Structure 1
């Protein structure tokens, strides 16, 4: 699907792709995977072929393949066949950030269960047992907060889409929906760096209060 180039400043888009890719890489994502993901995010269709990605990012097909493999493994990108063609297209998953957070919740649930078993094995009265039990309690708390946050996001998303539908199309920047920008900033930092135990992204708080 062709991009609407006349509505876009391609240099500005390229700068965004590289800047956001750098932020994702700083948070722990593989650098080339971050660039491919950012390029898909910045495309109007949310889908590009390997050749299109290689051309936009000025990288080799092998580099695209490696990046797609990584993104597929972490469930951030899917593969589909071009109608009437043997070419594959790579697409961002619908509700990407919601699905990512849902999978992270499942991961936290497994961690919590394992940690509680470990705390019992270590003994509740031992320093190690208490440390592991508190870690399990942290993950239990985090799960509850994430589920509550996603419920609030759904309500905010519905209200925002309703408001955007009533405003002129020029209100949003072409080529990259504002909701994608906010979600990318929030989830890019929280999802990829969640193991650090960092607090809520400030844009998430601002979005709920705004």
Structure 2
């Protein structure tokens, strides 16, 4: 009987992780966080310790520390203690983390709230700055609402391949 490990190409997995990290970094994402995310996505295990992540990336557990803090903050990674150990296990949430992370955390709403501060700060409702800021605020409120609908549609059609 073959196992998943029999079918894995470690070099191809490493290249995937680095390609994902480069792509995410080009979009403004923290590169080490993207590398950690790639390792967790490609891991057969339910989760990995900082030491295991570091080993797969060829970096120290300390280098992994800031990246996992960032990923936890964004809702893309969860942390749980390893029983009888001082280590923590880092894993992807069980739900559709790539959509749910941003939607459930209220990230878009938070951005809109911050931009509202800018609207209030510039004061003049007729100014170019106020117009730009209101437009930005409204866009992020719109995205927050739309993403809720996208998440519902995704969950309703889950299991159906789009390729």
TM-score bracket for the superposition, by shorter chain length:
0.7 to 0.9
Q: Which residue of 1 aligns with 2:44?
A: 44
Change in 2 beyond 3 A, CA 1:41/1:126 = same
RMSD: 2.6
Offset from partner CA, 1:65-86 (integer Å, 9 cap, x none): 2322222233322222223333
1:46-61 to structure 2, matched below 5 A, reads 46-61=46-61
Change in 2 beyond 3 A, CA 1:128/1:80 = closer
2:113 to 106, 110, 113: 110
Q: Which residue of 2 aligns with 1:140?
A: 141
Distance in structure 1 (CA, Å) of the matches to 2:87 and 2:6 = 26
Q: Which residue of 1 aligns with 2:87?
A: 87
CA contact (8 A) 1:112 1:137 kept: no
SS class of match (2:79): strand
Q: Which residue of 2 aligns with 1:17?
A: 17
Gap runs ≥5 in structure 2: none
1:1-210 to structure 2, matched below 5 A, reads 4-95=4-95, 96-97=97-98, 98-103=100-105, 104-111=107-114, 113-114=116-117, 117-118=120-121, 121-123=123-125, 125-157=126-158, 160=159, 207=162
CA contact (8 A) 2:79 2:89 kept: yes
Q: Alpha-carbon deviation of 1:48? A: 0.6
Change in 2 beyond 3 A, CA 1:152/1:134 = same
CA contact (8 A) 2:35 2:57 kept: yes
Gap runs ≥5 in structure 1: 164-178, 180-206
| TM score, norm. by length of structure 2 | 0.79
Distance in structure 2 (CA, Å) of the matches to 1:109 and 1:55 = 39
Offset from partner CA, 1:146-200 (integer Å, 9 cap, x none): 222222112122xx1xx6xxxxxxxxxxxxxxx8xxxxxxxxxxxxxxxxxxxxx
| TM score, norm. by length of structure 1 | 0.63
SS class of match (1:45): coil
Distance in structure 2 (CA, Å) of the matches to 1:137 and 1:100 = 17
Q: Alpha-carbon deviation of 1:115? A: 5.2
